[in-house]
Structure 1
Amino acid sequence: FFFHSSVSHRFIAKPCALGLKVQANGPQKAQPNAILEKVFTAITKHPDEKRLEGLSKQLDWDVRSIQRWFRQRRNQEKPSTLTKFCESMWRFTFYLYIFTYGVRFLKKTPWLWNTRQCWNGYPYQPLMPDLHYYYIVELSFYWSLMFSQFIDIKRKDFGIMFTHHIVTVTLITFSYVTNLTRVGTLTLCLHDAADVVLE
């Protein structure tokens, strides 16, 4: 999935983004200033009023200009809209594909229309090849999401999403091992439907 993700970024998502006129440039860069840069990297990214006034006297700048510099410098580290678009498009494409696959698979099953069928013959229900494929693809995608978080853009919800991916992998594995795959496919399909909209 890492390979597909990078290929998708370069050859599919980026041309689509540029076609949709998504901006490739990031936030405006702060003008170079050694003193402010030193404060930013070594002391604080959010200086208080006292520090702002001290820097104002030291640099002979007004406080508002220093606040603007710090805001621009903080924003400078944020990824561009194009980068965010490419990452989101890869996940959106996968969720749309797997949701479509799940719906097509579930339409042919009796447990979609009558959920009591989920328990008929449990735990000795046969594992159909389509169901096995659905589970393996979902599981590998969530493993890849869990590890790609470390190389993708760092997000504010990193910890929450990491926990979400661990719980998802655990639930998928548990339902597969305990042969709760019929209920699991219904849950996976609902989960993917929500992810298509969220992405």
Structure 2
Amino acid sequence: MNQQQFNSYDPIQWHGTTILCVRRDGQVAMAGDGQVTLGNTVIKGNAKKVRKIGLNGQILAGFAGATADAFTLLERLEKKLERYPNQLERACVELAQDWRTDRYLRRLEAMMLVANQAHSFTLTGNGDVLEPEDGVLAIGSGGNYAMAAARALLTVEGLTSEEIAKRAMKIAADICIYTNTSLVVETLLVKG
């Protein structure tokens, strides 16, 4: 096979995962599928791509993309949070600035979602720190499917953010071949 087929910028070979964050009625939930793929082969089906971080586990973080790169970003975010405790937005902006300007970090091929009791953000290597208008964020190869499903499910009365996240991820897994139904879901109650 031609080496160029495996370059990171080749959208045919580079596939992430699906991470979804939903904020509703005093709760924020983040869900991630467990599928790890290399090209068109499933390597693992139960990876944990969503976790609680920070002091007392009060921040949810999920990642899509190259695993080693994502862990590098997660580690950097935790260091920023140590430097700026209880300031998730500032820690995210500082990480995004480093990510955009540092030659090593610019080569990382991953994206992150982070959330605490007050805010949810998408972090990208372009220096973006994006907060949703409607409380729904998603990244990864099945992200658009999960986001569309979650937005539709927000109109259903009585569903919690966790229930919306699980249902939306199921819909995404039914559509995206790089997403499975082996979910990890973490939640936080929003103080009010």
Q: Do both proteins adopt the same fold according to a TM-score greater than 0.5, normalized to the shorter chain? A: no
**TM-score computed with the length of structure 2 as normaliser:** 0.26
Greater C-alpha radius of gyration: 1
Q: Which has the higher strand share?
A: 2
Q: Which has the higher helix share?
A: 1
**TM-score computed with the length of structure 1 as normaliser:** 0.26
